[in-house]
Amino acid sequence: MGYQAWCQELDGSIKISWYNQPYMLKNVRSGEEYYCYGKLFKDKGSYTMVNPKCVLKSDPGNFFELTPIYPKIEGVPHSLIQKTIADFLKEPFENSVLDPPSWLMAELQLPRFFEALQGIHCPKNQKEIEKGYIRIKVEEALKIHLGIMHFKQDFKQSDFELSRWEKIEQFVRSLPFTLTEGQSAALDDIVLDLKSGKVMNRLIQGDVGSGKTVLAVIACFFMAINGYQSAYMAPTDILARQHHATFKKFLEPFGIQVGLLTGTLNSEEERITKEKMRTGEVAVVIGTHALIQETTDFYHLAFVVTDEQHRFGVKQRAKLATKGAGPPHVLIMSATPIPRTLALILYGDLHVSEIKEKPKGRKPVKTFFYREKYWPKVLGFLTEQVAHGNQAFVVCPFIEESEGMEKVRDVQNVYEEVREKIGQNCRIGLLHGQMKNDEKNKVIDGFTKKEIDILVATTIIEVGIDVQNANVMVILSPERFGLAQLHQLRGRVGRGKAQAYCILLSDTQNEDTLKRMEMLVTARDGFEIAERDFELRGSGDYFGTRQHGLPRFFALDPLKDLEIIEKTKKIAEALYQSGKKEDMIYKDRMIADFEVETEEITLT
């Protein structure tokens, strides 16, 4: 049962509603003045406050004290959550095991653990809240720094002798295209790293379609002619197979064997590939997480590439780096630009190269945002494009219809609808993550060979599907995706000479979402889009910090807490090297916590 009241202000009124609180009928009297506290909801130009806390203006009590707001727990009143936590923190407890070493506490002026909790949950002023949160942020940053140091192979000198540098330029001249300025600059960085005599540890960030893969091909070629093996770890089976075909095309004419190792090979194929890796017959191996299995060995691994590396956890990357006889050179490639603060946590002192321009001759993708009512016209446009010999993607956020998401198009129903309406003129394919790997590979192969005109799919196509004949990307319910992800999807088209189009269809009325759609329509720079996406969605959700192999951030904000991140990195280095008992106990606890929080993180 509900009750309503109107709160009159000088410039208008606010409707106040109470549900399942019959006692409020007696507590609130007409004509009295009250202070009300609660969340405001806007509805058709007017404001409503639901189940607010109200006290008489003449007797406010502790109404103006700072009050913590906790996440909702179904069936538990918020007041009970507040009271339970407040009661728990009434009696102080001391446990030195929960605190950092005394010198660290003094240097950073950190409160004890109990004091920090009190400051966050039962603060007397804003300063206590800030001190409590700084304590939590510092420990989050230390835990991540120490955890990464534990798994990271931090080597200085390289064990691999390299020569025949002139062959790099000869190989580049043999390519059927000219490298862009950005590609050439990044290649120069790689060569300088290899010539330095130290282990290369470089990240190449390049917008979608900027041509990062060819740099890995060139580097693998150079390592092969020096007698060393290279491993290229891709996040998905589909992408691994596609890169395998690309590497074979460029390297096998030079007598360099390229192998494929994924979890979808049959037992005999897997046995043969692993044997060739052990004997060195295969110089370059393209694979997925199968590359880091215990039974996988290399003859002389000297170079490791991880692609779309944010999809691999810290442990997986470290494990691949230990497969060689000595510390291998490492090249990391990502089409999702990473803000500097997050990169500092993920990679420490990693050297970064950026490729911002696209290969010459490619036209910018034209992007449009329409309402759902234009769906029939979009189907007509797809039919026209297919008639001109082009191909298209139609992307949906879900595989099947989801409860509570009736307005969100799912891939199964859209596939049936597209087949029914334009299937007589177009060959329609279906692709999603729940299909068996051989089924997925068959569909991708069919689309690549132009046996499928329109591919209806989920975001499984986001990474690495490279079909130059595809020039239309239709994204249904784009509000379900982040800006960076939408830009990645858009990057699947526009790789050939034909004009490419990206069409976003949604009936959303959300103002923030509409701003995101407007930005995607007008912006083409993936670096700008990624930074904006990071700001809009926050560090905890930016393509998932757990996809980085990191624990979720609770208080630390990589966008705002750069000073804490930088300061704690130096402290973590001192802790990691320290032999003092107090420091070692704390370090081991932080690393153990890091391992527990990351153990369930798996590869895509």
Statement to judge: residues 416 and 376 lie in one domain: yes
Residue 155 has pLDDT above 70, yes or no: no
Q: Please check whether residue 88 lies inside any domain of the structure.
A: no
Statement to judge: residues 282 and 332 lie in one domain: yes
Statement to judge: residues 327 and 201 lie in one domain: yes
Strand-pair category, 366-370 with 428-431: unpaired
Cα gap 96→300, rounded to integer Å = 48
Q: Please check whether residue 583 lies inside any domain of the structure.
A: no
- Global pTM reads 0.69
Local confidence band at 312 (pLDDT 50, 70, 90 cut-offs)? low
Q: Please check whether residue 540 lies inside any domain of the structure.
A: no
Phi-psi map region of 61: left, alpha, beta (phi>0 left; psi -120 to 50 alpha): left
User: pLDDT higher for 218 or 198?
Assistant: 218
Q: Please check whether residue 123 lies inside any domain of the structure.
A: no
Q: Please check whether residue 31 lies inside any domain of the structure.
A: yes
Local confidence band at 589 (pLDDT 50, 70, 90 cut-offs)? very high
Residue 584 has pLDDT above 50, yes or no: yes
User: pLDDT higher for 572 or 147?
Assistant: 572
Statement to judge: residues 347 and 208 lie in one domain: yes
DSSP SS3 for 300: coil
**pLDDT given at position 292:** 85
Statement to judge: residues 438 and 501 lie in one domain: yes
% of residues, the chain, pLDDT over 90: 46
Averaged over 507-519, what is the pLDDT? 88
User: CB of 389 within 8 A of CB of 471?
Assistant: no
Q: Please check whether residue 189 lies inside any domain of the structure.
A: yes
Per-residue model confidence as pLDDT tens digits over 352-368 = 888 888 777 778 899 99
Domain boundary among 333, 355, 377: 355
Statement to judge: residues 307 and 429 lie in one domain: no
Sign of the torsion angle spanned by Cα atoms 187, 192, 194, 198? negative
Which long-range contacts link 176-182 to residues 24+ away (Cβ below 8 Å)? 177/359, 178/360, 179/211, 179/214, 180/210, 180/211, 180/355, 180/357, 180/358, 180/359, 180/360, 181/357, 182/206, 182/210, 182/354, 182/355, 182/356, 182/357
Residue 537 has pLDDT above 70, yes or no: no
**pLDDT given at position 406:** 46
CATH of the domain at 422: 3.40.50.300
User: pLDDT higher for 251 or 526?
Assistant: 251
Statement to judge: residues 182 and 317 lie in one domain: yes
Q: Please check whether residue 201 lies inside any domain of the structure.
A: yes
Count of the separate structural domains present in the chain: 3
Domain boundary among 523, 558, 582: 523
**pLDDT given at position 386:** 97
Q: Please check whether residue 305 lies inside any domain of the structure.
A: yes
Statement to judge: residues 468 and 372 lie in one domain: yes
Averaged over 296-300, what is the pLDDT? 93
Residue 100 φ/ψ, nearest 5 degrees: -65, 170
Residue 404 has pLDDT above 50, yes or no: no
**pLDDT given at position 72:** 84
Averaged over 386-392, what is the pLDDT? 96
Residue 213 has pLDDT above 70, yes or no: yes
Averaged over 251-263, what is the pLDDT? 96
User: pLDDT higher for 166 or 461?
Assistant: 166
Residue 50 has pLDDT above 90, yes or no: no
Domain boundary among 523, 543, 565: 523
**Which structural domain range is residue 15 located in?**
2-64
Statement to judge: residues 243 and 322 lie in one domain: yes
Statement to judge: residues 195 and 274 lie in one domain: yes
Statement to judge: residues 343 and 373 lie in one domain: no
Residue 412 has pLDDT above 50, yes or no: yes
Averaged over 195-223, what is the pLDDT? 91
Statement to judge: residues 330 and 404 lie in one domain: no
User: CB of 276 within 8 A of CB of 565?
Assistant: no
